[in-house]
A and B are shown apart, each in its own frame.
Chain A
Amino acid sequence: MLDDQDRRLLRQLQADPSLTTAALAARAGVSAPVAARRLEKLKAAGILRGVHRVIDWRALGYAVEVSLRITLDKTDPGAFDAFTAAARKVPEVTEIQTFLGRVDVRLSVIARDMAHWQQIYRARILALPHIAEIEALMRIATIKTDPGLPI
């Protein structure tokens, strides 16, 4: 379904999502109207879901980022849905992932400092339903973040 032109456009978009359609077209070696038409088609097909600005929470004073690895009590068949629905309501939760493995769910949680983190952890996180086990990994540094996937 995808041809070389589509892939070239997506590759360039992935490398620099801030490009205008005209700039993208030039880099992918297609005309601007062709690029516009193809991007529209990729959007309609759900392959290009969107382009987003990324907020650096550290610049807003959120110095702490914790990765919470959670195992749920799966004796309740609604555990996953109830847990994720409740986690979505915690403003400091920025990502929710579900897994196949030892860990069921991972939350990315941000806080201003350790005191703020403790407050969120006690009042909001531990209050989430169906948690069987919880383990925290605190981010020290980001070594690599690269969206350059081989598409």
Chain B
Amino acid sequence: MTELDDTDRAIAQALQRDATVSAGALGRQLGLSQPATWRRIRRMEEAGILAGWRADLDLPALGLGVTVFLGVKLATKSRVSLEEFERAISAIPEVQAVDHVLGRYDYRLRITARDLADFERVLRRRLMTLPGLGDIEANVLLSEERLPGPL
């Protein structure tokens, strides 16, 4: 595990807020040279800390008005059924995220659709037809915020 100092944390936090800020501009804010800032960014990338990138888009404005979180319980739970289910569920384009979880449900899904009618189509034609599906629960997303976390 890589230990971060306060400067690393400040850099990671700034890039989490806005990934488009240049190493030069970031360095000036923190009293570092551009190459020194760049080296710290590279080090955090190589350690897998700065892992990915995310574009934050206003989905309803793009015609994707409904996001639903679905809790799914499987009726049968052999290793084969888990793998089959995971393969089938991952192939559905509207299914944005799949987490295998422990608790009341076996999987947590994030589904984005054009509207409720479109979501119903995905639910009926793609999800309910999957083999081994047990109890499911749908919650429609109203608002979402991401926080910086313990940096």
B142 to chain A, nearest CB (A): 5
A59 pairs with B150, CB closer than 8 A? no
Partner of A48, one of B57, B99, B101, B104: B57
Q: Is B28 engaged at the interface, CB distance under 8 Å to the other chain? A: no
Supposing A61-B1, A92-B149 touch, asked if A54 and B93 sit within 8 A by C-beta, the answer is no
Q: Is B12 engaged at the interface, CB distance under 8 Å to the other chain? A: yes
Supposing A10-B62, A145-B97 touch, asked if A51 and B103 sit within 8 A by C-beta, the answer is no
Chain A residue nearest to B53 in the complex (CB): A17
Q: Is B139 engaged at the interface, CB distance under 8 Å to the other chain? A: yes
Q: Is B29 engaged at the interface, CB distance under 8 Å to the other chain? A: no
Partner of A138, one of B101, B107, B141: B101
* Inter-chain pairs besides A17-B54, A55-B12, A97-B142, 11 sampled, C-beta below 8 Å: A13-B55, A48-B58, A50-B19, A50-B20, A54-B53, A67-B99, A94-B146, A97-B145, A137-B103, A137-B104, A151-B64
B48 pairs with A56, CB closer than 8 A? yes
- Interfacial residues of chain A within 53-108, with CB under 8 A of chain B in the complex: 53-57, 59-62, 67, 69, 88, 91-103, 106
A51 pairs with B53, CB closer than 8 A? yes
Size of the A side of the interface (Cβ < 8 Å), in residues, is: 60
Size of the B side of the interface (Cβ < 8 Å), in residues, is: 61
Q: Is B95 engaged at the interface, CB distance under 8 Å to the other chain? A: yes
**A binding-site residues for B, Cβ under 8 Å:** 2, 7, 10, 13-14, 16-18, 45-57, 59-62, 67, 69, 88, 91-103, 106, 110, 135-151
A18 pairs with B62, CB closer than 8 A? no
1/0 per residue, CB under 8 A from A, across B92-111: the answer is 01011111111111011000
Chain A contacts for B98, CB-based, 8 A: 142-145
Q: Is B52 engaged at the interface, CB distance under 8 Å to the other chain? A: yes
Chain A residue nearest to B139 in the complex (CB): A101
Chain B contacts for A56, CB-based, 8 A: 48-49, 51-52
Supposing A100-B142, A138-B101 touch, asked if A51 and B19 sit within 8 A by C-beta, the answer is yes
A63 to chain B, nearest CB (A): 10
Partner of B57, one of A49, A93, A100, A135: A49
Chain A contacts for B146, CB-based, 8 A: 52, 94-95
Chain B contacts for A48, CB-based, 8 A: 55-58
Most buried by A among B58, B62, B102, B143: B62
Closest 8 pairs (CB-CB, A-B): A101-B139, A56-B51, A17-B53, A99-B139, A137-B103, A143-B98, A53-B15, A137-B101
A41 to chain B, nearest CB (A): 13
Chain B residue nearest to A136 in the complex (CB): B103
Q: List 8 A-B contacts (CB under 8 A).
A: A48-B55, A49-B57, A55-B151, A142-B97, A144-B89, A144-B95, A149-B57, A149-B64
